[in-house]
């Protein structure tokens, strides 16, 4: 069904299911899901939802709140409602009838739309700071300095400022992202504006025989990389691996890392470091007590999603090294033998395609020309407009990306300080800019316009 807001201001709608008095089946026998669009969601027991104090219509005996939403002025939204009988119902109960009506209550509101919709609305009329030209028409901010700043990882979300929050950048809105529960949603992707701890960090330095590593130069399999473990909580430990007194061990009991999740938990942790088969892991401390995620409000704002881990061995020409090529590689299955092609977790890195598609080009080399130029050669003086009009580019430090050179067990892509994109050894160091997807219900307040001086402020918690 579709709801249309014909008013000139936003409308807050409450969607309820009123169970009619004529219904003979118990409400506890019913499962339901309400989703946006035409997708089915995870079945939830009707009686586990919030029950309204009063029914909305005559002839109803009880009412449950299916969900609430904000519909923009003069906008429409479509929803899909599914009802199932719980698999545990008895034959006697299943022979009864269930009768109900969907009831919509709406009120005018000054509340903002979810951020994912705000960005989409902005992009619909602004072709200077946005582009939707990747293969899936994802919405991306582009340019040297678009208004995509947002306060995140705040110690106090009720008083957001440079002193209580970090500045992150909105990369864009990515369509049909697969969440940990298997459902799909459009989600906003953000990246930390500055590198983590103002330092360079190893991607991985597990030697041959340790974890997935088959070389002495580290492994480019993100699923058990030391960098992944530094950034993410223990929920995402590779299957078969264990933790003993904070020591992460592979399926053979070999130590590979220590203090997993230190960035995510905002604690003191360990830098990724060399570990040989048969040796103990030696921790070189890195402190995230002030630079890691500050609280559960921040952690709970991050969606756990499926990340693509595909890569390539060929990327140095216009026939195989464009942003569009990398977009396909990332979603493909070309990896070094035995390495994973996808991973579910919370904190990742930017993709090569994120970097490429973020350029707006300039007066000498326009965006179309940049996107027709292999990123391996973006460091050339003749195409300096490409990197110089790309807000993800940093001239002062190299940046790790989330894609492997599939011809090597240890090759990982990174952005060069000169603007080019090429592979590097996992055991070497580059800067880390954490990337995350925000939950779809997060909106922004009326404060902030997206500039560095006045970032958007998230409404979370």
Length of the chain as a residue count: 461
Domain termination residue (choose one: 49, 82, 108):
108
Q: Are residues 131 and 54 in the same domain?
A: no
Residue (of 312, 220, 235) closest to 272 by Cα position: 220
End residue of a domain, out of 54, 82, 108 = 108
Domain holding 421, by residue range, is: 113-460
The answer to whether the CB of 71 falls within 8 A of the CB of 7 is no
CB 252 within 8 A of CB 230: no
Question: Tens of pLDDT along 392-423?
Answer: 999 999 999 999 999 999 999 999 999 999 99
Q: How far is it, in rounded angstroms, from Cα 167 to Cα 160?
A: 11
Contact 436, 189 (CB under 8 A): yes
The whole-number pLDDT of residue 37 equals 77
What CA–CA distance (Å, rounded) separates 438 from 301?
6
Residues 403, 379: one domain? yes
The pLDDT tens digits for 154-177 are 999 999 999 999 999 999 999 999
Which residues have a Cβ under 8 Å from the Cβ of 126 and sit 6 or more positions away?
Answer: none
Number of structural domains the chain divides into: 2
Burial class (CB in 10 A: 0-12, 13-18, 19+), 315: buried
Q: Indicate whether 100 and 132 sit together in one domain.
A: no
| End position of a domain, from candidates 108, 127, 154 | 108
- Domain match, 318 and 394 both: yes
Q: Up-side HSE of residue 243: CA atoms within 13 Å toward CB? A: 15
Looking at the fold, whether 9 and 153 belong to one and the same domain comes out as no
Q: Do 89 and 132 reside in the same domain of the chain?
A: no
Tens of pLDDT along 267-279? Answer: 999 999 999 999 9
CA distance 460 to 303: 13
Say how many CA atoms lie within 13 Å of 14 toward its Cβ. Answer: 15
The predicted pLDDT at position 110 comes to 85
Does 205 share its domain with 351? yes
Do 212 and 340 lie in a common domain? yes
How far apart CA 35 and CA 17 sit, in angstroms, is 14
pTM equals 0.88
Taking all residues of the chain, what is their mean pLDDT, rounded to a whole number? Answer: 96
């Amino acid at each position: 069904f579709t709801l249309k807001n014909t008013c000139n201001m936003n409308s807050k709608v409450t969607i309820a299911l009123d169970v009619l008095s004529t219904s003979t089946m118990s409400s506890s026998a019913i499962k339901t899901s309400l989703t946006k669009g035409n997708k089915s969601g995870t079945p939830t027991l009707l009686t586990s939802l919030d029950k309204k104090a009063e029914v909305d219509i005559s002839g109803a005996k009880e009412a449950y709140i299916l969900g609430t939403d904000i519909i923009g002025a003069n906008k429409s939204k479509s929803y899909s409602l599914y009802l199932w009988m719980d698999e545990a119902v008895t034959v006697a109960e299943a022979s009864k009838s269930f009768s109900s009506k969907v009831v919509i209550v709406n009120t005018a509101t000054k509340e903002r739309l979810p951020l994912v919709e705000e960005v989409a609305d902005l992009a619909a009329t602004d072709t200077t700071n946005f582009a939707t030209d990747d293969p899936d028409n994802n919405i991306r901010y582009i340019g040297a300095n678009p208004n995509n700043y947002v306060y995140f990882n705040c110690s106090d979300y009720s008083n957001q400022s440079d002193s209580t929050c970090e500045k992150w950048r909105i990369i864009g809105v990515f369509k049909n992202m697969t969440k940990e529960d298997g459902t799909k949603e459009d989600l906003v992707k953000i990246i930390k504006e500055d590198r983590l701890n103002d330092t360079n960090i190893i991607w991985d330095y597990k030697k041959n025989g340790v974890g997935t590593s088959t070389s002495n130069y580290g492994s480019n399999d993100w699923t058990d990389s030391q960098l992944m473990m530094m950034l993410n909580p223990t929920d995402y430990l590779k299957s078969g691996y264990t933790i003993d007194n904070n020591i992460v061990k592979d399926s053979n009991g070999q130590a590979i890392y220590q203090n997993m999740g230190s960035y995510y938990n905002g604690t003191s942790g360990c830098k990724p470091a060399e570990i040989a088969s048969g040796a103990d892991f030696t921790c070189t401390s890195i402190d995230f007590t002030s630079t890691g995620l500050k609280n559960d409000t921040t952690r709970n704002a991050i969606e756990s999603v499926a990340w693509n881990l595909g890569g390539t061995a060929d990327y140095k020409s216009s026939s195989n090294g464009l942003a569009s090529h990398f977009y396909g590689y990332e979603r493909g299955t070309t990896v070094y033998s035995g390495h994973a092609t996808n991973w579910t977790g919370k904190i990742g890195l930017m993709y090569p395609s994120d970097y490429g598609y973020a350029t707006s080009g300039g007066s000498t080399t326009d965006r179309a020309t940049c996107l027709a130029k292999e990123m391996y050669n973006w460091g050339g003086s003749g195409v300096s407009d490409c990197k110089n009009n790309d807000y993800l580019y940093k001239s002062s430090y190299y940046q790790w990306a989330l894609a492997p050179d599939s011809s090597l067990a240890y090759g990982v892509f990174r952005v060069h300080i000169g603007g080019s994109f090429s592979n590097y050894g996992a055991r070497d160091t580059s800067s880390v800019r954490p990337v995350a997807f925000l939950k779809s219900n997060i909106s922004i307040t009326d404060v902030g316009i997206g500039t560095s001086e006045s970032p958007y402020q998230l409404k979370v918690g």
